[in-house]
Amino acid sequence: MDTTERTLVSPLQSTLEQIQSFLPQLLAALFIVACGFFVGWLFKVVVRRMLLWLKFDAGCGRLGLSELLGRNGNGEMPSTMVARLCGGLVVLVFVVLAINSLNINVLQHLIERFLAYLPNVLVAGLVMLAALYLGSFVGRAVLIACVNAGNRLARLCARSAHALVLALGGVMALEQLGIGKDAVLLAFAIAFGGVVLALALAFGLGGRELARDFLEKKLRPAAEEDELKHL
């Protein structure tokens, strides 16, 4: 009897007691999370209304951000996406509060580490977002300029410019996250230097005729050029 009590009943009682004492904390944590969802939703609605009032979508359109977010996201308006992000951050804050309220050391320690690392993730995310925007902007600018100049390799030039900006952004983001800091930077520098050298050699050796034609056209006005006056 004693043995049974010692090996089964006591631990069970102890576990039940622990659960009993933990249950209010758990319920409180769940309540906090529920509150978080409600406040997050409320915050999202307020932020969206405010952004609409500030004509945020039109501003993003002018900057070319709408198109970028539309292509890389799910086609939502920028104001909706930003509002959703703000709401999500509020929910995250409440989840952290809820976990802290549970008083579990391991979880608290993990959260501390996560919170300490979070700014890096946010900065890296912002860097990548900026790189996506800049890459798209530069790529399109190069594409239009090349087409208007009659360059048949317009798409290639545009994609190269886009990829270069993205690669640069990627390297900066990885550096921010502390992932393979030196290795990534070194690899990028070697690759970038290699590409530039290859292009220089290709143009110098393979494109001598092209370079000469280009300079001749620049220095000597072509006889067959249009004489249209557009204005």
Rounded to an integer, what distance in angstroms lies between the CA atom of residue 226 and that of residue 154? 22
Q: How far is the CB of 143 from another protein (least distance, A)?
A: 6
Q: Does 183 bind another protein (CB under 8 A)?
A: no
Q: Is 125 left (phi over 0), alpha (psi -120 to 50) or beta?
A: alpha
* Angle at the Cα of 109 from the Cα atoms of 173 and 28, rounded to 5 degrees: 110
- Residues 64-83, one symbol each (x = binds another protein by CB under 8 A, - = not), give x-xx----------------
Question: What is the identity of the amino acid at 227?
Answer: E
- Smaller CB separation from another protein, 19 or 144: 144
147 binds another protein (CB under 8 A): yes
Run of H or E including 99 = helix 78-101
Please report the DSSP string for 137-202 in residue order: HHHHHHHHHHHHTT-TTHHHHHHHHHHHHHHHHHHHHHHHHTSSHHHHHHHHHHHHHHHHHHHHHI
**With respect to another protein, which residue has the nearer C-beta, 129 or 154?**
154
User: Whole-number minimum distance, CB 65 to another protein, in Å?
Assistant: 10
Binding to another protein (CB under 8 A) within 117-146 occurs at 137, 140-141, 143-146
Long-range contacts of 22-26 (CB under 8 A, 24+ apart): 22/102, 25/101, 25/102, 25/103, 26/102
Between 2 and 227, CB nearer to another protein? 227
Q: Does residue number 230 form part of the binding site for another protein (CB under 8 A)?
A: yes
Q: Is 197 a binder of another protein (CB under 8 A)?
A: no
Total residues at interface with another protein (CB under 8 A): 29
Q: Which of 35, 95, 154, 177 binds another protein (CB under 8 A)?
A: 154
Closest to another protein by CB, 3 or 148: 148
Residue of 186, 169, 165, 187 whose CA lies nearest to 177: 169
Binding test (CB under 8 A) with another protein, winner from 33, 35, 39, 61? 61
Which two structure tokens, joined as six digits, stand for 67? 């198109």
Binding site for another protein (CB under 8 A): 58-59, 61-64, 66-67, 137, 140-141, 143-148, 150, 152, 154-155, 224-231
